[in-house]
Amino acid sequence: MATQAAYQNLKSIYLRRLYINTGLIIFSLSFGILGFALLENYTWIDSVYMTIITLSTVGYGEVEKLSDHGKNIYFYIHCA
């Protein structure tokens, strides 16, 4: 009986971590896409592209030259 309770507890811990990490990924993607779209006036596809290359640290380069607001978004996404 103790092993079943321990298994349920461990399962609960892993599921909670999974939900937290999934939420953080969704938040980072949303923050980046909305930030680039609203502050830099990028199209949605350019905003997605910039966010993905920033989060994955591929570094293909910017779609257009970034303003100071865009550099702040880039910095906060990269730190995530």
Domains and CATH numbers, the chain: 2-79 (1.10.287.70)
Sequence-distant (6+) residues with CB within 8 A of 40 are 47, 64, 66, 67, 69, 70, 73
List pLDDT tens digits, range 32-80.
899 889 988 899 998 998 888 888 877 677 777 778 877 777 777 777 6
Are 55 and 28 spatial neighbours (Cβ–Cβ below 8 Å)? yes
Q: What is the pTM of this model?
A: 0.72
